[in-house]
Amino acid sequence: MTRPAAIPTETRARQVTDQYLNDCHTNGKRPSVLALATRLGLSNTTFRRHFPQLAKEITALRSHPSSPAGHEARPSPYDVLIARNAKLRRTNRALTENLHYAAAHIQRLALDNARLRQALEASHNITRIDKPERDRRH
């Protein structure tokens, strides 16, 4: 698992946001929440969770840019790639957690099954014909 990210203060986030928006305006680019979150060293989800107002502000600026209508209407291929990678990482993390959870349940069920089988055999005075693997060795 990864370590929790250090969450910047509201003031620091505002300063970085203002600087980022200024850079976007100067370079003629549309701002994105993902790029701002990356500048703050946070994932997109963490940024949106801790700074919803800033995320809404960036989203509004992205939806209604003050630049001419034809200016970069779509995200760049690089931004699309970053977003896809982030989504794949989240999915991979969730699937890995589910796999560990399922393996733990299978182990617990196997132990429960062995205990129940032993209890059933003991209660009916059943003697097993097949010997355990360690007894088969000569």
> How far is the C-alpha of 75 from the C-alpha of 95, rounded, in Å?
28
Q: Which residue has the tokens 């097949």?
A: 130
Average pLDDT over residues 116-125: 90
The domain limits of the chain are: 1-66, 75-138
Distance CA 95, CA 14 (A): 34
In the predicted model, is pLDDT for residue 135 greater than 90? no
Q: Do 52 and 74 touch, CB atoms closer than 8 A?
A: no
Q: What is the DSSP letter of 39?
A: H
CA distance 16 to 62: 17
Q: Kind and range of the H or E element at 138?
A: none
% of the chain beyond a pLDDT of 90? 38
The per-residue pLDDT of the chain, averaged, comes to: 84
What percentage of the chain exceeds 70 in pLDDT? Answer: 83
pTM value is 0.44
Summarize pLDDT for 83-103 with one digit per residue, the tens: 999 999 999 999 999 999 999
Say if residue 68's pLDDT is above 80: no
